[in-house]
Amino acid sequence: DGGITQSPKYLFRKEGQNVTLSCEQNLNHDAMYWYRQDPGQGLRLIYYSQIVNDFQKGDIAEGYSVSREKKESFPLTVTSAQKNPTAFYLCASSPRSYSYNEQFFGPGTRLTVL
Amino acid sequence: DQQVKQNSPSLSVQEGRISILNCDYTNSMFDYFLWYKKYPAEGPTFLISISSIKDKNEDGRFTVFLNKSAKHLSLHIVPSQPGDSAVYFCAAKVGAGNNRKLIWGLGTSLAVNP
Protein backbone atom coordinates (compact mmCIF):
# COMPACT_ATOMS: atom_id res chain seq x y z
CA ASP A 1 0.00 0.00 0.00
CA GLY A 2 1.23 3.49 -0.79
CA GLY A 3 1.48 5.99 1.98
CA ILE A 4 3.55 7.86 4.49
CA THR A 5 5.01 6.30 7.56
CA GLN A 6 6.35 8.06 10.60
CA SER A 7 8.20 6.36 13.36
CA PRO A 8 8.07 6.05 16.21
CA LYS A 9 4.53 6.99 17.23
CA TYR A 10 5.67 8.13 20.69
CA LEU A 11 9.15 9.33 21.55
CA PHE A 12 10.63 10.38 24.85
CA ARG A 13 13.93 12.16 25.21
CA LYS A 14 15.87 13.89 27.93
CA GLU A 15 16.37 17.61 27.72
CA GLY A 16 19.54 18.53 25.85
CA GLN A 17 19.54 15.51 23.56
CA ASN A 18 19.08 15.68 19.82
CA VAL A 19 16.42 13.39 18.40
CA THR A 20 15.58 12.41 14.83
CA LEU A 21 12.05 11.73 13.64
CA SER A 22 11.63 9.48 10.65
CA CYS A 23 9.36 10.13 7.66
CA GLU A 24 9.19 7.81 4.66
CA GLN A 25 6.84 7.87 1.66
CA ASN A 26 6.41 5.46 -1.22
CA LEU A 27 4.04 7.66 -3.21
CA ASN A 28 6.78 8.94 -5.52
CA HIS A 29 5.98 12.47 -4.36
CA ASP A 30 8.48 15.24 -5.05
CA ALA A 31 7.54 17.50 -2.16
CA MET A 32 7.68 16.74 1.56
CA TYR A 33 6.82 18.81 4.62
CA TRP A 34 7.23 18.83 8.37
CA TYR A 35 4.59 20.42 10.59
CA ARG A 36 4.28 20.88 14.31
CA GLN A 37 1.00 20.96 16.25
CA ASP A 38 0.69 22.41 19.73
CA PRO A 39 -2.40 22.77 21.92
CA GLY A 40 -4.24 25.96 21.02
CA GLN A 41 -2.38 26.36 17.72
CA GLY A 42 -2.98 25.28 14.17
CA LEU A 43 -0.40 23.30 12.23
CA ARG A 44 2.78 25.27 11.68
CA LEU A 45 5.31 24.55 8.96
CA ILE A 46 8.85 23.73 10.13
CA TYR A 47 10.65 22.78 6.92
CA TYR A 48 9.72 21.70 3.43
CA SER A 49 11.49 20.15 0.49
CA GLN A 50 10.42 20.56 -3.11
CA ILE A 51 12.89 18.07 -4.51
CA VAL A 52 15.76 15.80 -3.50
CA ASN A 53 18.79 17.61 -2.05
CA ASP A 54 16.79 20.79 -1.60
CA PHE A 55 14.86 22.14 1.38
CA GLN A 56 13.64 25.47 2.72
CA LYS A 57 12.80 26.81 6.14
CA GLY A 58 9.20 27.17 7.10
CA ASP A 59 7.75 29.51 9.70
CA ILE A 60 9.36 27.93 12.77
CA ALA A 61 12.62 26.33 11.60
CA GLU A 62 14.80 27.46 14.52
CA GLY A 63 16.16 24.52 16.50
CA TYR A 64 15.38 22.00 13.75
CA SER A 65 17.34 20.51 10.87
CA VAL A 66 16.39 18.27 7.95
CA SER A 67 17.94 16.39 5.07
CA ARG A 68 16.57 15.12 1.78
CA GLU A 69 19.12 12.69 0.41
CA LYS A 70 16.50 10.38 -1.03
CA LYS A 71 13.13 11.12 -2.58
CA GLU A 72 11.40 8.76 -0.18
CA SER A 73 12.87 10.08 3.05
CA PHE A 74 12.74 13.42 4.89
CA PRO A 75 14.03 13.00 8.47
CA LEU A 76 13.65 15.82 10.98
CA THR A 77 16.18 16.37 13.74
CA VAL A 78 15.02 18.23 16.81
CA THR A 79 18.15 19.72 18.28
CA SER A 80 18.90 20.83 21.81
CA ALA A 81 18.56 24.40 20.55
CA GLN A 82 14.81 23.98 20.15
CA LYS A 83 13.39 25.65 23.26
CA ASN A 84 10.02 23.89 23.39
CA PRO A 85 10.42 20.57 21.58
CA THR A 86 7.51 18.74 23.20
CA ALA A 87 4.81 18.63 20.50
CA PHE A 88 3.02 16.51 17.95
CA TYR A 89 4.95 16.33 14.67
CA LEU A 90 3.32 15.61 11.33
CA CYS A 91 5.06 14.78 8.08
CA ALA A 92 3.33 15.24 4.72
CA SER A 93 4.08 14.85 1.04
CA SER A 94 2.52 16.03 -2.21
CA PRO A 95 3.13 15.20 -5.87
CA ARG A 96 4.33 18.73 -6.57
CA SER A 97 5.30 21.67 -4.46
CA TYR A 98 2.43 23.54 -2.87
CA SER A 99 -0.24 21.16 -4.19
CA TYR A 100 -1.99 21.38 -0.85
CA ASN A 101 -5.16 19.68 -2.01
CA GLU A 102 -3.01 16.65 -2.82
CA GLN A 103 -1.11 16.67 0.45
CA PHE A 104 -0.93 13.32 2.23
CA PHE A 105 -0.10 13.19 5.91
CA GLY A 106 1.56 10.57 8.05
CA PRO A 107 0.07 9.48 11.40
CA GLY A 108 2.40 11.73 13.38
CA THR A 109 4.98 11.36 16.14
CA ARG A 110 4.35 12.69 19.62
CA LEU A 111 7.63 13.86 21.12
CA THR A 112 7.94 14.43 24.83
CA VAL A 113 11.10 15.94 26.24
CA LEU A 114 11.56 15.23 29.91
CA ASP B 1 -3.02 36.12 16.51
CA GLN B 2 -5.05 33.46 14.72
CA GLN B 3 -5.66 34.40 11.10
CA VAL B 4 -7.89 31.36 10.61
CA LYS B 5 -10.39 30.82 13.39
CA GLN B 6 -12.60 27.87 14.09
CA ASN B 7 -14.50 29.18 17.06
CA SER B 8 -16.36 25.99 17.90
CA PRO B 9 -14.00 23.40 19.37
CA SER B 10 -16.69 20.73 19.15
CA LEU B 11 -20.02 19.98 17.53
CA SER B 12 -22.51 17.16 18.08
CA VAL B 13 -25.10 16.20 15.45
CA GLN B 14 -27.65 13.45 15.02
CA GLU B 15 -27.14 10.96 12.22
CA GLY B 16 -28.99 12.02 9.07
CA ARG B 17 -29.02 15.69 9.99
CA ILE B 18 -26.87 18.46 8.59
CA SER B 19 -23.48 19.28 10.12
CA ILE B 20 -22.26 22.84 9.65
CA LEU B 21 -18.67 23.63 10.54
CA ASN B 22 -17.61 27.25 10.47
CA CYS B 23 -14.36 29.03 9.79
CA ASP B 24 -13.57 32.76 9.92
CA TYR B 25 -10.46 34.44 8.60
CA THR B 26 -8.89 37.84 8.90
CA ASN B 27 -6.50 38.07 5.95
CA SER B 28 -8.15 39.28 2.74
CA MET B 29 -5.14 38.02 0.77
CA PHE B 30 -6.11 34.39 1.29
CA ASP B 31 -6.96 33.04 -2.16
CA TYR B 32 -7.65 29.36 -1.60
CA PHE B 33 -9.31 27.50 1.25
CA LEU B 34 -9.20 23.85 2.19
CA TRP B 35 -10.89 21.53 4.63
CA TYR B 36 -9.07 18.53 6.07
CA LYS B 37 -10.48 15.72 8.15
CA LYS B 38 -8.53 13.90 10.86
CA TYR B 39 -9.34 10.66 12.61
CA PRO B 40 -7.59 9.77 15.90
CA ALA B 41 -4.09 8.33 15.45
CA GLU B 42 -4.06 9.29 11.77
CA GLY B 43 -2.79 12.30 9.85
CA PRO B 44 -5.22 14.81 8.31
CA THR B 45 -6.68 13.95 4.91
CA PHE B 46 -7.79 16.46 2.32
CA LEU B 47 -11.57 16.75 2.05
CA ILE B 48 -12.63 19.66 -0.15
CA SER B 49 -11.39 23.06 -1.24
CA ILE B 50 -12.61 26.31 -2.75
CA SER B 51 -10.96 29.10 -4.65
CA SER B 52 -11.59 32.66 -3.55
CA ILE B 53 -13.20 33.40 -6.93
CA LYS B 54 -16.03 31.00 -6.16
CA ASP B 55 -18.71 31.00 -3.49
CA LYS B 56 -19.61 27.33 -3.47
CA ASN B 57 -18.03 23.98 -4.16
CA GLU B 58 -19.83 20.67 -3.82
CA ASP B 59 -18.53 17.12 -3.65
CA GLY B 60 -21.08 14.48 -2.80
CA ARG B 61 -22.33 15.03 0.75
CA PHE B 62 -19.82 17.84 1.34
CA THR B 63 -20.34 21.44 0.31
CA VAL B 64 -18.14 24.39 1.14
CA PHE B 65 -19.55 27.92 1.04
CA LEU B 66 -17.40 31.03 0.92
CA ASN B 67 -18.60 34.50 1.89
CA LYS B 68 -15.73 36.80 1.06
CA SER B 69 -17.37 39.97 2.32
CA ALA B 70 -17.85 38.36 5.73
CA LYS B 71 -14.50 36.53 5.55
CA HIS B 72 -16.33 33.38 6.44
CA LEU B 73 -16.53 29.87 5.08
CA SER B 74 -18.50 26.89 6.15
CA LEU B 75 -18.50 23.17 5.49
CA HIS B 76 -21.87 21.46 5.22
CA ILE B 77 -22.21 17.71 5.52
CA VAL B 78 -25.58 16.32 4.46
CA PRO B 79 -26.64 13.82 5.58
CA SER B 80 -24.23 13.32 8.45
CA GLN B 81 -23.04 9.79 9.12
CA PRO B 82 -21.32 8.29 12.19
CA GLY B 83 -18.19 7.77 10.06
CA ASP B 84 -17.96 11.54 9.68
CA SER B 85 -17.02 11.81 13.35
CA ALA B 86 -13.55 13.36 13.25
CA VAL B 87 -11.68 16.63 13.73
CA TYR B 88 -12.12 19.03 10.82
CA PHE B 89 -9.44 21.62 10.04
CA CYS B 90 -9.92 24.72 7.96
CA ALA B 91 -6.81 26.02 6.18
CA ALA B 92 -6.17 29.03 3.97
CA LYS B 93 -3.49 29.65 1.39
CA VAL B 94 -1.70 32.95 0.96
CA GLY B 95 1.18 34.09 -1.20
CA ALA B 96 2.60 33.02 -4.53
CA GLY B 97 5.64 31.20 -5.80
CA ASN B 98 8.02 30.16 -3.07
CA ASN B 99 6.15 32.39 -0.62
CA ARG B 100 3.01 30.29 -0.71
CA LYS B 101 1.95 28.92 2.64
CA LEU B 102 -1.01 27.44 4.45
CA ILE B 103 -2.43 28.90 7.63
CA TRP B 104 -4.37 26.38 9.70
CA GLY B 105 -7.24 26.69 12.12
CA LEU B 106 -7.34 24.81 15.42
CA GLY B 107 -9.95 22.33 14.29
CA THR B 108 -13.52 21.42 15.24
CA SER B 109 -14.29 17.99 16.64
CA LEU B 110 -17.50 16.64 15.10
CA ALA B 111 -19.44 13.83 16.74
CA VAL B 112 -22.26 12.27 14.73
CA ASN B 113 -24.52 10.27 16.99
CA PRO B 114 -26.41 7.22 15.69
Averaged pLDDT for residues B4-20: 96
**Mind telling me how many Å the CA of A102 is from chain B's nearest CA?**
7
pLDDT-based confidence at B107, cuts 50/70/90? very high
Return the pLDDT at A1: 61
pLDDT at B65 over 70: yes
pLDDT at B60 over 80: yes
Nearest CB among A59, A101, A105 relative to B34 is that of A101
Query: Is B2–A100 a contact, with Cβ atoms under 8 angstroms apart?
Result: no
pLDDT at B1 over 70: no
Closest CA to B45 of A100, A47, A72, A74: A100
Closest CA to A96 of A32, A45, A31, A38: A31
Averaged pLDDT for residues B41-49: 91
Chain B contact set for A106 (CB, 8 A): 43
Chain A contact set for B107 (CB, 8 A): 42
pLDDT at B58 over 90: yes
Of chain B residues 78-97, which have a CB less than 8 A from chain A?
89, 91, 93
Query: Is A42–B104 a contact, with Cβ atoms under 8 angstroms apart?
Result: yes
Q: Are strands A54-57 and A10-13 parallel, antiparallel or unpaired?
A: unpaired
Closest CA to B86 of B49, B35, B51: B35
Return the pLDDT at B94: 87
Chain B contact set for A56 (CB, 8 A): 98
pLDDT at B96 over 90: no
Q: One digit per residue, pLDDT tens: chain A, 114 residues? A: 669 999 889 999 998 899 999 999 999 999 999 999 988 778 899 999 999 999 999 989 999 999 999 999 999 999 988 889 999 999 999 988 777 778 899 999 999 998
**Mind telling me how many Å the CA of B45 is from chain A's nearest CA?**
6
Q: Is B97 helix (H, G, I), strand (E, B) or coil?
A: helix
Nearest CB among A45, A100, A105 relative to B34 is that of A100
Q: Is A8 exposed, middle or buried (0-12, 13-18, 19+ CB in 10 A)?
A: exposed
